[in-house]
Amino acid sequence: MSERVPVSVSVCMATYNGERFVEEQLRSILDQLPSDGEILVVDDASTDGTVAVVTGMGDPRIRVFVHADNRGYVSTFGEALERADGAAILLSDQDDVWVPGRLDVLVAALQQVDVVASNLALYPDGAPLPTPLGGTDWNLTASTSTHRIRNLLGVLTGSMPYFGCAMAMTASARSRILPFPAFLTESHDLWIALCGNADRSIAHVEQITVLRRLHDANTSPSRPRDLGTVMKARWMLVRAILVAYRRARRGR
Whole-model pTM?
A: 0.92
Is residue 224 in some structural domain? yes
Looking at per-residue pLDDT, the higher value among 216 and 119 belongs to 119
Nearest to 179, CA basis, from 82, 248, 114, 72: 82
- Please report whether residue 245 resides in a domain: yes
For residue 192, is it within any domain?
Answer: yes
**Residue 113 covered by a domain:** yes
Q: For the chain, what is the domain count?
A: 1
Confidence tier at 91 by pLDDT (50, 70, 90):
very high
Q: Is the confidence at residue 221, as pLDDT, over 70?
A: no
Residue 2 lies in a domain: no
Q: What pairing do the DSSP bridges indicate for beta strands 97-98 and 202-212? A: antiparallel
Say what the pLDDT of residue 219 is. 60
The stretch 41-49 carries a mean pLDDT of 98
> pLDDT of 94-130, one tens digit each?
999 999 999 999 999 999 999 999 999 999 999 999 9
Query: Do the domain assignments include residue 1?
Result: no
CA 129 from chain centre, in angstroms, equals 16
Nearest to 196 by CA among 250, 248, 161, 130: 248
Residue 234 falls within a domain, yes or no?
yes
DSSP β-ladder status, 38-43 and 88-92: unpaired
Residue 3 placed within a domain: no
Q: Which domain holds residue 99?
A: 9-251
